[in-house]
Amino acid sequence: MLKFQNFKKLYGGLPALKIADISLESGIYWVKGVNGSGKSTLLKSIAGILSFNGDILIGNNISIKKQPVAYRKLVNFAEAEPLFPEFLTGMEMIRLFADAKGATQGQEQGYIESMGMQAYVNNPIGTYSSGMLKKLSLVLAFLGNPKLILLDEPLITIDTASLKILYTWIHDLNRDKGVSFMLSSHQELDAVELPKVGVLLVEDKTLQIIS
């Protein structure tokens, strides 16, 4: 599903994260690590937001360096604390992402309705609470036909009912379409909702496969 080739991320010339040749099979992964260990750096690098040395490949050896457009259509990302242009409405953001990701027409409606966003999705994002922003970022992360969805701290700033819905989205998309997930979280993932989860540990400036 995902291959790292001599990956190295530097900050100020100093190594922040180094990953040798590691391959991850398709599945759902919990990315663990203490604050500052590099979890967000890892996810943002995979998403193509941060530059790095080396390469990352997805699917049939599609390289982020050699085929960046094709790669980014297959990898979606939701930040821990999302920031969007405040003058746009939630629906305008959704349509922008849907176009960029090649989503089928109307794909977003089921996600909007299940998260109960109908009452405010057409309002300017500047009026949104942190919980509303979180829901919007999650909807955006599920648009298109990704092979991998990255969720940075998805369990924070979200209510219990919405969290259960998110778990359902993850479970169903993994089961029905084979979409893989990487979730960074300081909180325990629900073992009932997501019973088969691999564990990745970011520690000592590297990535380890725990299970």
> What is d(CA 98, CA 88) in angstroms, rounded to the nearest whole number?
15
Contact between 29 and 199 (Cβ < 8 Å): yes
pLDDT score for 188 = 87
Of 92, 90, 142, the closest CA to residue 121 belongs to: 90
How does strand 75-78 pair with strand 148-152?
Answer: parallel
pLDDT on residue 195: 85
Q: What is the pLDDT of residue 118?
A: 97
Q: What is the pLDDT of residue 139?
A: 97
Q: How many CA atoms lie within 13 A of 5 on its CB side?
A: 10
May I ask the CATH class of domain 2-209? Answer: alpha beta
Domain ranges of the chain: 2-209
pLDDT at position 192: 86
List the chain residues with pLDDT less than 70.
none
Q: What is the pLDDT of residue 85?
A: 96
Q: Are residues 88 and 133 in contact, defined by beta-carbon separation less than 8 angstroms?
A: no
pLDDT at 20: 86
Strands (E) across the chain are located at 2-11, 14-19, 22-24, 28-32, 53-58, 62-63, 75-78, 148-152, 180-184, 198-203, 206-209
**Residue 204 — left, alpha, or beta (φ > 0 → left; ψ -120 to 50 → alpha)?**
left
pLDDT in tens, 141-178: 999 999 999 999 999 999 999 999 999 999 999 999 99
